A and B are shown apart, each in its own frame.
Chain A
Amino acid sequence: MLSRTASNLYWIARYMERAETSARLLEVGARNALMPNIGGGMRNEWESVLNAHGTLNAFLDKYGDPVQRNVETFLFFDRENPSSIASCISAARENARIVRTALTTQMWDAINTAFQEVREMERTERSALPLSDLVEWTLRVCALVRGTIDATLLRNDGYHFLQLGYFIERADNTARLLDVKYYVLLPQVSMVGSGLDNFQWGTLLRALSAHRAFNWAYGGEITARKIADFLILNRQCPRSIYSCVSGITDHLDAVARGYGKSSAAQTQSRAMLAELAEMRVDHIFDEGMHEFLSRVIGDVNRLGFAVHDTYLSGDIK
């Protein structure tokens, strides 16, 4: 497969997953905003969302105060924001158009239709588009694209590069969301364990569509340890770091098997998976949640570079 084609597929997945994360963040913000302001001097909820998204400064430069309407615009519609849902879906569609023939009709249809609908929404009066609809639409579109991939795509190397894109983006996003919850949403250490703390953890779970799953798996009170265990180490949680790295490893293995050639990326992801498999939640808190998550974000980033260097750049080693 052409390196550029693999790269286009990989980026389709990353952009679709990123769009989904943006939608989930919008949802988190909306729910947090419903919470009475009990924290005194607490930061604006929407500011936290933008921080989690990594686009706070870009937002402040352009819009000033983070009020809901502007954040919605910024995270959903703004084409100048490369992580906005409209930008992500357009970028995914452009990548898809380039490799149109490597996709199935159903997959192309799903992405192309999403793109046409974004354009339609851009022409629609904003009052007709409540936030909940925007979020729901995005989650549905993302699920649809994933569904067409699962149901119709040949399990060849192209499929594996798509999955790599999804898992790498997701691992990064889960780690960032957790990190932000821990460091940004919570203004003071004294608040740990407070009612607000628990409300925010709950919101985070909801944003990851994992609220009910969490209850089934752990039950009872929401605590930071349980959450960390669930979102980092749990092998059943589809968004946990472990599941993502496990997915990355599986697909890197499949690619290496197919090509009859092992890769540096494979070695890296296996090492990461081995560490996570041995790890207990105590280790994470011993190391420090933020320190641990920063390390994970760095590792995932390096893994992304390794995939790029080995398969997507086409450079000769």
Chain B
Amino acid sequence: MSQYFNEMFDGASVRPPYSTLEHWAREMSADLRSLKQSEAEALFRRIGITFAVYGEGGDPDRLIPFDMFPRVFSAGEWRKLEAGVKQRARALNAFLADVYGRGEIVKAGRIPAHLVYKNAAYEKAAVGFMPPLGVFSHIVGIDLVRTGPEDFFVLEDNCRTPSGVSYMLENREIMMRMFPHLFQESRIAPVEAYPNLLKRTFASVAPQKCDRDPTIVILTPGHFNSAYYEHSFLADMMGVELVEGQDLFVSGDFCYMRTTEGPKKVDVIYRRLDDDFIDPLCFRPDSMLGVPGLMNVYRSGGVTICSAPGAGVADDKAIYTYVPEMVRFYLGEEPILANVPTWQCAKADDCKYVLENLKDLVVKEVHGSGGYGMLVGPKSTKEEIEIFRHKIEDRPDNYIAQPTLALSTCPTFVEDGVAPRHVDLRPYCLVGKDVELVPGGLTRVALTEGSLVVNSSQGGGVKDTWVMAE
């Protein structure tokens, strides 16, 4: 018996949300399967969805493997997830509004001041300015893993510009084209409203100075960026312009884009580039990607930037530990979704425990990302563990540790049939006038047997994610 929770099987019986699929997969011949698989690949290539998940790098013309076996949630499971994700997104935004305003949570001693204010993602330039509706992070991507029927854990929050949502939409589009009968037989909640909701979210945070239908644009670092496809896809789906920094300029109180009909005022900018590059007059002076003067227009209320500069302080690994505390502090509620238990090496007791149990733990650098500076205890050699022991003893405050999670598995098409593979989930929560979550998300799957790493750069693939309608 596997130690991992299998999302399809409960012992020998098939769990209800998967009943149609179990039958479907069992009936599918190997020939049909490979035919469909190559059809899917051709479709992905045709629409040009070549894409590397942001920060993972890699060949921009590469396809991420698509697994046709959907991942399914029952309506009941989703209700809980939805409530939990929305709660977390609200708390993270309340935190951001607070730490760039009065800093009540710090004054109340619920989170250490230095973790927030000394943080590299804390933007001095954002202090004292309240963006429209007090929203800083308009798209919150919450990375979740499951370890049991009722056990969901938040692995990470993404408050800046979480990527991958184009996969959520394209995966569904392709599944509907290839297997229409599955959608007739099961009642699967649609995700296609996402671009409209996204546009509505942006429109709701237009600056007060905007007295007409707001003009929304997506700001991309350019067509060499690995996520360019997603930027152009979203712009197209929302019916808004995809601009580069050079297409925008600042004049007087506003920001304009260069069009064939002359300057056109821009009200909301969904930027897909990091804070550092937004405006060379405020951040990195050598940035050619941004718009000189944009931060001044933003801070004087002439344009809204989504996500707000400085939003990144909420998704820092050191801050992560305190998100449940944020939920309690700002919302007066108990957190619905649990954090992965985290030991902070900065605390003496925690550090002692971590050093004693290195072989069972995952140790991460506080400010690291993309799997760098990480120790996966059970997969490391004695030497590697000893090297890390010294690192932690040297600078305990630079490390946190978490248990190695038993990620759930989901049936996945493999060489010779169907086999369980580990999965995670990233739903995309929209925060504007309303807080909304389309029923679905991006399911990443580790295609290598036994692997717990779902990153596309390390052999990960993606799946369509179904939520059964009520």
Give me the interface of A with B, judged by CB distance under 8 Å: 1-6, 94, 97-98, 100-101, 105, 108-109, 112, 157, 161, 255, 259, 261, 311-317
Contacts and interface: CB of A to CB of B under 8 A. Distances in A.
Interface in B41-94: 46-48
A103 B47 CA distance: 12
B260 A259 contact: yes
B247 A3 contact: yes
Nearest to B61: A97
B235 A316 contact: no
A308 to B, nearest CB: 11
Given A98-B223, A108-B48, A259 B261 contact: yes
Nearest to B241: A2
B259 A3 contact: yes
Interface in B243-284: 243-244, 246-247, 251, 257-263
B48 A100 contact: yes
Nearest to A315: B258
Contacts of B260: 1-3, 6, 157, 161, 255, 259, 311-312
A100 B259 contact: no
A262 to B, nearest CB: 13
B242 interface: yes
Contacts of A100: 48, 232
B235 A101 contact: yes
Given A2-B258, A3-B258, A101 B242 contact: yes
B236 interface: yes
A316 B46 contact: no
Nearest to A94: B223
Which of B232, B247, B258, B260 is packed against the most chain A CB atoms within 10 Å? Answer: B260
A112 B48 CA distance: 10
B263 A316 contact: yes
Contacts of A312: 260
A4 B247 contact: yes
Q: Is the interface of B mostly helix, strand, loop or mixed?
A: mixed
Contacts of A94: 223
Contact of B246 (A4, A5, A97): A4
Nearest to A316: B263
B261 A314 contact: no
Contacts of A5: 241
B222 to A, nearest CB: 8
Contacts of B243: 2, 4
Contacts, number: 55
A3 B47 CA distance: 25
A157 B260 CA distance: 9
Nearest to A261: B261
B257 A2 contact: yes
26 contacts: A1-B259, A1-B260, A1-B261, A2-B241, A2-B247, A2-B258, A3-B259, A3-B260, A4-B244, A4-B246, A5-B241, A97-B48, A97-B223, A98-B223, A100-B232, A101-B233, A101-B236, A105-B46, A157-B260, A261-B261, A311-B260, A312-B260, A313-B258, A314-B258, A315-B258, A316-B262
Given A2-B247, A108-B48, A314-B247, A101 B232 contact: yes
Nearest to A161: B260
Nearest to A109: B46
Interface of B: 46-48, 223, 232-233, 235-236, 241-244, 246-247, 251, 257-263
Contacts of B261: 1, 259, 261
B219 to A, nearest CB: 12
4 closest Cβ pairs, A-B complex? A314-B258, A101-B236, A311-B260, A3-B258
Given A6-B260, A315-B258, 12 more contacts: A1-B261, A2-B243, A2-B260, A3-B259, A4-B258, A101-B235, A101-B236, A105-B47, A255-B260, A313-B258, A314-B259, A316-B251
A181 B246 CA distance: 42
Nearest to A312: B260
Contacts of A1: 259-261
A2 B215 CA distance: 13
A108 B48 CA distance: 10
A297 to B, nearest CB: 26
Which of A2, A105, A312 is packed against the most chain B CB atoms within 10 Å? Answer: A2
Which of B236, B244, B258, B263 is packed against the most chain A CB atoms within 10 Å? Answer: B258
Nearest to A158: B260
B260 to A, nearest CB: 4
Contacts of A259: 260-261
A238 B124 CA distance: 62
Contacts of B233: 101
A1 B243 CA distance: 11
A101 B48 CA distance: 11
Nearest to A100: B232
A1 B46 CA distance: 25
A317 B259 CA distance: 12
Nearest to A98: B223
Contacts of A101: 232-233, 235-236, 242
Contacts of B241: 2, 5
A216 B175 CA distance: 55
A124 B171 CA distance: 35
Contacts of B235: 101
Which of B47, B246, B262 is packed against the most chain A CB atoms within 10 Å? Answer: B262
A5 B415 CA distance: 44
Contacts of B246: 4
A101 B241 CA distance: 10
Nearest to B47: A105
A161 B260 CA distance: 10
A206 B312 CA distance: 64
B113 to A, nearest CB: 44
Contacts of B236: 101
B149 to A, nearest CB: 42
Contacts of B223: 94, 97-98
Contacts of B247: 2-4, 314
A98 B46 CA distance: 16
A312 B242 CA distance: 16
Nearest to B243: A2
Nearest to B233: A101
A313 B243 CA distance: 14
A252 to B, nearest CB: 12
Nearest to B222: A98
A241 B88 CA distance: 66
A316 B262 CA distance: 7
Nearest to B223: A98
A101 B166 CA distance: 14
Nearest to A102: B236
A11 to B, nearest CB: 14
Nearest to B242: A101
